[in-house]
Amino acid sequence: MIHVNELRKGVTFTMDGELYKVLEYQHYKPGRGKAIIRTTLRNLRTGTTIQQNFTSGDRVEDIRVERRGVQYLYTDGDLYHFMDTETYEQTALAASMLGDQVRYLKEGMELVLSSYEGEPLDVELPTTVEMEVVGAEMAIAGDTATGAMKKVRLETGLEVQVPLFIEQGDVIRVDTRTGEYVTRM
């Protein structure tokens, strides 16, 4: 058991018989009374996201998650297939379990698969990924001193705001935590 004050982004725990991963965490201390811990949690079995508030002093059951290196292979409809890089064993995860992470998956990408008691739960993406721009709006000449941005579509279907100089065919780096443009390669 751990105190809810120890919860941080990425921590996994059980509550009411379900497995949850902390997506967002905020500690709030009102003028009087106990502190409130506001969290956004993702159910690792169903993929649903919930908001949950805890009061300081509450406890949840911490779980130990096994992590191993995998490579993303392909998708066939609703299932995404991964291969363990040591044993070559293949695992399939439903799109609902992966959530928004599917927008960053490219064939051959190296990831970390989390599992609990042999049940695959989640994949951890690298901090940044490199993707090719397949669709870009035409840049409008004019006031560029304000850091003008335009929207582009990447090879996985992800849409990102980028500076005006990015064109179709460019490879850019995207932050997987925020979904924002980092740099051109």
User: Sorting pLDDT into bands at 50, 70 and 90, what band is 143?
Assistant: low
Which residues 6+ apart lie within 8 Å of 161 measured at CB?
149, 150, 151, 180, 181
pLDDT of residue 174: 92
| Mean pLDDT for the stretch of residues 87-103 | 85
Is residue 1 within 8 Å of residue 59, measured between CB atoms?
A: yes
Name the pTM for this structure: 0.71
* Maximal CA-CA distance, the chain: 59
Q: Is the pLDDT of residue 146 over 70?
A: no
Question: What is the spatial order of strands in the sheet that 171-175 belongs to?
Answer: 159-163, 149-154, 128-136, 171-175, 181-184
pLDDT bucket at 142, cuts 50 / 70 / 90: low
Residue 119 is predicted with a pLDDT of: 83
CATH fold match for the domains 66-124 and 128-184: yes
Domain 2-62 is of which CATH architecture? Roll (2.30)
CATH code for residues 66-124 = 2.40.50.140
Task: Locate the domains of the chain by residue range.
Answer: 2-62, 66-124, 128-184
Q: 54 near 39, Cβ under 8 Å?
A: yes
Answer whether CATH 2.40.50.140 is correct for domain 128-184.
yes
Average pLDDT over residues 51-77: 88
Per-residue pLDDT of 25-58, as tens digits, reads 888 888 888 888 899 998 888 778 899 898 888 8
